[in-house]
């Protein structure tokens, strides 16, 4: 186990992210906790283990498992296993399993211990760090939850071998987003130089990629642990444009990552039009997304505008009824502002600007 | 509105307890929040209002409502009313409504605003302050929950007029317990001197009683906000002995307060036997309980011992498998220790010692 990142959170709490050599190394580390643990898997991640730990619960895979019934299943298993407050829930899976395990740990006996083992690229670079945990409720994403950082996050790069291409690209879009938000250019340059090793999932390369990406998220979390200061919202770059696409019924085949990549490029364009973003930087970043295979030039059909707009206006992150977009002033520096609906329409259905 | 107590909690958060002149005064204060609120009642407390606030949800009354289904009902109503993160849940009721409202507020959009209006004496002096919120789960009390202090607690003494005698005595037992745990003798003396006004529920007297009692709880909370330092556990004085009685099937007619009073006297006796508690002090405190009508001399039948013992051994607050009891060294000073089963048996089924 090698320490990757240690994030200081409020209240003296911290999350330590450790890199395991492989799943065996990781299991050995977790084995030291003895029997006072409950593992949480989903139907896919449970297959990564030949020998299952005795105390475990297996959720359905996918977003639809982020609900109260999964929460009750985890809590009930914890109770059956006799976990006390000093017991530990170990979430082994993608963002869904991480979110469910963290939420369950936050409320079990008003808070028990928590280890997260993210097994998707998205969960490694995003969902496992930062303490946000939530379930979907009445069709609304992440409506109910808590802030409850894991004390440790264990990463075993070998789990990424079985991840399908779409899920891999979901995570990679967040990595590229992090590269634009970073206070330095290391991650950006790494993406430019190591494209082939990344796409062929060379383990050493992926470990370095995850570490660089986590450090960017860490920076934003430490500035604004509870998302009350407006700094952490920068991490939503591309998400407002992207979510509306993701939610529109015609784009169900688009993955989350593809939408985030597309949305980030729309935000870059908006910045250019408004004189906020440097044109050359926007153009370079757009090319970076493109080079990893994202369809960022796509535009929605004229007939789909109304549905798209309606999804946009439902965005959760409204202030005084206005949806605010994250725009990039320059690398690592963002600004939050509402955008004119006509400009948005122009950007999402017109021809590309550059 | 008059400020009674302001409790400083970790993270710079605080709970302000305000005394209203009456329900009208209280409603006027809450009216200032406008429409971004959701009121939570139970079927009894909803009757205290002639004109109901437009956004409200009414839970079943009683302990059995402390469950996931009530939680989902509150969250779902909050969503229907369009509450955002800056919206406010107002819990208006006894400990059950306060616990449910606080738990719901803690998870709604990862935390919205919270006002508690305790309407039982127990909730006024205990459940509304300290940030503990929980539901019962699979027959286990307070198994699932969070720490989420209300930003304000509003007390309107006139709500106590409709409380039945048993519920009133439930709260009073906690008040007497607080008197023993207090760092000074003010509350103890108040109870001795003002017994008649208390029992006749003279409003001014009750307001002073609630304030003195809250100040004792405040002291313990501020020392140990998250119950991690072993100080706040002192507030469990009498509860281990008492809960076991409450849980034994033969004592269903005993109220929670009657059990706490009885349990506190057993803890005092244990202290005397072990040379921890001053005999005169224990005897005085026992008389104080008695003077308010609690049946503290009651002993369980020989045939009920096994069931009582089994409930005792199930106590949640075990350390290394040992149930630890709160004993009183002297007024305001406690010690936590396991007790010999034979001694316990002697105390709960033998004749009184003094
Ligand atoms: N808490 C946060 O800060 C945060 C941040 C970002 C996203 N999220 C949440 O994360 C979720 C998305 O995460 P996700 O994309 O990881 O989704 P996911 O957990 O559903 O995983 C995607 C799919 O990959 C499968 N899978 C997981 N690991 C695998 C592996 N090693 N090999 C093969 N298949 C594997 C899963 O079973 C699932 O079918 C969303 O619910 C989102 O809200 C949370
Ligand atoms: N969070 C904490 O720190 C804490 C502390 C102590 C107790 N509690 C919890 O509080 C609960 C017990 O509280 P409680 O005794 O207030 O129970 P409760 O809320 O069930 O109230 C008792 C009864 O009185 C009724 N009632 C409430 N206000 C009334 C009024 N003004 N007039 C007439 N009837 C009224 C209720 O409808 C109920 O039937 C338990 O669930 C316990 O776990 C929590």
CATH class of the region A175-349: mainly alpha
Task: Say which DSSP state B108 is in.
Answer: B
Q: Nearest ligand, CA of residue B135?
A: 2
Residue-by-residue DSSP string for B323-343 = EEEEEEEETTEEEEEE--HHH
User: Two tokens at A224?
Assistant: 């604004």
Cβ proximity of A133 and A99 under 8 Å: yes
CB within 8 Å of B246: residues ≥ 6 apart? B254, B256, B259
In this structure, the residue with its CA closest to atom 41 of ligand 2 is B96
Tens digits of residue pLDDT in A50-62:
889 999 999 999 9
For residues B316 and B309, give the distance between their C-alpha atoms in angstroms, rounded to a whole number.
14
CA of A58 to the centre of ligand 1 (A): 14
For residues A85 and A109, give the distance between their C-alpha atoms in angstroms, rounded to a whole number.
6
DSSP E strands: which ranges in chain B? Answer: 2-8, 14-19, 37-42, 56-59, 88-93, 113-118, 132-137, 140-147, 152-155, 318-319, 322-330, 333-338
Ligand 1: atom nearest CA of A134 is 1
The confidence score (pLDDT) of residue A10 equals 76
Tens digits of residue pLDDT in A135-150:
999 988 899 999 999 9
For residues B40 and B101, give the distance between their C-alpha atoms in angstroms, rounded to a whole number.
7
- Please, what sign has the CA dihedral across residues A213, A219, A225, A229? negative
**Integer angstrom CA distances of residue A122 from A61, A126, A170:** 15, 6, 6
- Other Cβ atoms less than 10 A from the Cβ of B138: the count is 12
- Please, what sign has the CA dihedral across residues B39, B42, B48, B49? positive
Query: Is the pLDDT confidence value at B354 over 60?
Result: no
Helix ranges restricted to H, B113-164: 121-122
Chain A residues near any Cβ of chain B (below 8 Å): 10-11, 68, 72, 75-76, 79, 84, 106-111, 132, 134, 137-138, 140, 143-147, 318
Tens digits of residue pLDDT in A205-263:
999 999 999 999 999 999 998 888 989 999 999 999 999 998 886 777 788 999 999 99
The confidence score (pLDDT) of residue B19 equals 97
For residues A320 and A120, give the distance between their C-alpha atoms in angstroms, rounded to a whole number.
36
Mean pLDDT of all residues belonging to chain A? 93
In this structure, the residue with its CA closest to atom 11 of ligand 1 is A95
Cβ proximity of B159 and B206 under 8 Å: no
CA of B17 to the centre of ligand 1 (A): 43
The confidence score (pLDDT) of residue B323 equals 85
For residues A280 and A80, give the distance between their C-alpha atoms in angstroms, rounded to a whole number.
59
User: Two tokens at B103?
Assistant: 């738990």
Active site residue A330: no
Cβ proximity of A339 and A322 under 8 Å: no
For residues B194 and B201, give the distance between their C-alpha atoms in angstroms, rounded to a whole number.
11
Residue-by-residue DSSP string for B45-72 = GGGG-SS--SSEEEEPSSGGG-SHHHHH
Residues of A in contact with B110 (CB under 8 A): 132, 134, 145-147
Q: Do domains A2-162 and A175-349 have the same CATH topology?
A: no
> Among A11, A75, A84, whose Cβ lies nearest the Cβ of B144?
A75
> Among B79, B110, B137, whose Cβ lies nearest the Cβ of A140?
B79
Query: Is the pLDDT confidence value at B266 over 60?
Result: yes
Strand B322-330 to strand B318-319: parallel, antiparallel, or no bridges (unpaired)? antiparallel
Tell me, using a 6 A CB cutoff, whether residue A70 lines ligand 1: no
For the CA atoms of A338, A341, A343, A348, the dihedral, rounded to the nearest 10 degrees, stands at 110
Strand A14-20 to strand A2-8: parallel, antiparallel, or no bridges (unpaired)? antiparallel
Cβ proximity of A81 and A38 under 8 Å: yes
For residues B131 and A9, give the distance between their C-alpha atoms in angstroms, rounded to a whole number.
21
Burial readout A160-197 (b: 16 or more C-beta within 10 A, e: otherwise): beebeeebbbbbbbbbbbbbbbbeeeebbebbeeeeeb
**Integer angstrom CA distances of residue A216 from A125, A175, A212, A241, B250:** 9, 9, 7, 22, 61
Domain locations in chain A as residue ranges? 2-162, 175-349
Helix ranges restricted to H, A112-226: 121-122, 165-181, 186-193, 195-199, 203-223
The confidence score (pLDDT) of residue A318 equals 65
Quick one: angle between helices B305-313 and B239-247, nearest 10?
A: 120
Tens digits of residue pLDDT in B184-226:
999 999 999 999 999 999 999 999 999 999 999 999 999 998 8
Query: Is the pLDDT confidence value at A352 over 90?
Result: no
Give B225-231 contacts, CB < 8 A, sequence gap 24+. Answer: B225/B9, B225/B10, B225/B131, B225/B147, B226/B10, B226/B147, B227/B132, B230/B336
CB within 8 Å of A202: residues ≥ 6 apart? none
CA of A73 to the centre of ligand 2 (A): 28
Query: Is the pLDDT confidence value at A159 over 80?
Result: yes
Q: What is the pTM of this model?
A: 0.95
The confidence score (pLDDT) of residue A328 equals 97
For residues B63 and B67, give the distance between their C-alpha atoms in angstroms, rounded to a whole number.
9
Q: Do B79 and A147 touch (CB under 8 A)?
A: no
Residues of A in contact with B68 (CB under 8 A): 68, 72
User: Two tokens at A75?
Assistant: 């809590």
DSSP E strands: which ranges in chain A? Answer: 2-8, 14-20, 37-42, 56-59, 88-93, 113-118, 132-137, 140-147, 152-156, 318-319, 322-330, 333-338
For residues B242 and B263, give the distance between their C-alpha atoms in angstroms, rounded to a whole number.
4
> Residue A34 — very low, low, confident or very high, per pLDDT cuts 50/70/90?
confident
> Residue A316 — very low, low, confident or very high, per pLDDT cuts 50/70/90?
low
For residues B270 and B264, give the distance between their C-alpha atoms in angstroms, rounded to a whole number.
10
**Integer angstrom CA distances of residue A157 from A23, A101, A103, A172, A206:** 9, 20, 24, 14, 7
Cβ-Cβ contacts under 8 Å between A and B: the total is 58
Tens digits of residue pLDDT in B3-58:
999 998 877 789 999 999 999 999 999 999 988 999 999 999 999 998 899 999 99
The confidence score (pLDDT) of residue B9 equals 84
Query: Is the pLDDT confidence value at B353 over 60?
Result: no
Chain B residues near any Cβ of chain A (below 8 Å): 10-11, 68, 72, 75-76, 79, 84, 106-111, 132, 134, 137-138, 140, 143-147, 318
Query: Is the pLDDT confidence value at B351 over 70?
Result: no
The whole-number average pLDDT for the span B281-300 is 95
Cβ proximity of A72 and B68 under 8 Å: yes
- The strand order across the sheet containing B322-330 reads B318-319, B322-330, B333-338
The confidence score (pLDDT) of residue B139 equals 86
The whole-number average pLDDT for the span B308-322 is 76
Considering only CA atoms, which of B39, B36, B13 is closest in space to residue B26? B39
Cβ proximity of B122 and B95 under 8 Å: yes
Any idea which residues of B carry the catalytic annotation?
110, 132, 174, 217, 227, 232, 236, 239, 243, 256
Cβ proximity of A325 and A276 under 8 Å: no
Candidates A73, A113, A132, A215; catalytic one: A132
**Integer angstrom CA distances of residue A176 from A127, A254, A283, B154:** 15, 18, 14, 50
> Among A68, A146, A318, whose Cβ lies nearest the Cβ of B72?
A68
Query: Is the pLDDT confidence value at A123 over 70?
Result: yes
Domain B2-162 architecture: 3-Layer(aba) Sandwich (3.40)
- Using left for φ > 0, alpha for ψ between -120 and 50, and beta otherwise, residue A108 falls in beta
Cβ proximity of B272 and B261 under 8 Å: no
CA of A22 to the centre of ligand 2 (A): 52
CA of A244 to the centre of ligand 1 (A): 20
The ipTM assigned to this model is 0.92
Query: Is the pLDDT confidence value at A341 over 90?
Result: yes
CB within 8 Å of B210: residues ≥ 6 apart? B4, B121, B124, B125, B155, B157
The confidence score (pLDDT) of residue A157 equals 98
> Among B106, B134, B140, whose Cβ lies nearest the Cβ of A146?
B106
Cβ proximity of B223 and B231 under 8 Å: yes
Considering only CA atoms, which of B124, B156, B221 is closest in space to residue B2? B156
- Using left for φ > 0, alpha for ψ between -120 and 50, and beta otherwise, residue B185 falls in alpha
């Amino acid at each position: 186990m090698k320490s990757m990142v240690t994030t200081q959170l409020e209240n003296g709490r911290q999350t330590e992210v450790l890199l395991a050599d492989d799943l065996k190394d990781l299991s050995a580390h977790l084995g030291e906790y003895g029997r006072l643990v409950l593992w949480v898997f989903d139907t896919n991640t449970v297959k990564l283990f030949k020998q299952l730990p005795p105390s475990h619960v297996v959720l359905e895979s996918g977003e639809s498992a982020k609900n109260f019934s999964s929460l009750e299943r985890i809590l009930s298993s914890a109770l059956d296993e006799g976990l006390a407050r000093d017991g530990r829930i170990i979430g082994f899976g993608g963002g869904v399993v991480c979110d469910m395990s963290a939420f369950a740990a936050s409320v079990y006996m008003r808070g028990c211990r928590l280890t997260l083992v993210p097994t998707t690229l998205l969960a490694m670079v995003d969902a496992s760090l930062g303490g946000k945990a939530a379930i979907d409720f009445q069709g609304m994403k992440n409506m109910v939850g808590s802030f409850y950082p894991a004390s440790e996050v264990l990463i075993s790069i070998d789990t990424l071998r079985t991840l399908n291409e779409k899920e891999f690209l979901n995570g990679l879009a967040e990595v590229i987003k992090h590269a634009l938000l970073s206070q330095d250019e290391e991650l950006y340059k790494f993406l430019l130089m190591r494209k082939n090793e990344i796409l062929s999932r060379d383990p050493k390369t992926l470990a370095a990629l995850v570490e660089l990406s986590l450090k960017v998220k860490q920076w934003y979390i430490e500035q604004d642990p509870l998302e009350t200061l407006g700094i952490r919202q920068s991490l939503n770059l591309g998400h407002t444009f992207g979510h509306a696409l993701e939610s529109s019924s015609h784009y169900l085949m688009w993955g989350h990552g593809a939408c985030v990549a597309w949305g980030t490029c729309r935000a870059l364009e908006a910045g250019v039009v408004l004189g906020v973003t440097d044109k050359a930087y926007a153009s370079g970043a757009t090319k970076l997304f493109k080079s990893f295979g994202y369809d960022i030039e796509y535009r929605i059909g004229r007939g789909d505008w109304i549905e798209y707009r309606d999804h946009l206006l439902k965005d959760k992150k409204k202030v005084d009824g206005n949806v605010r977009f994250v725009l990039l002033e320059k690398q690592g520096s963002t600004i939050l502002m509402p955008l004119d609906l006509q400009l948005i329409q122009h950007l999402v259905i017109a021809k590309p600007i550059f």
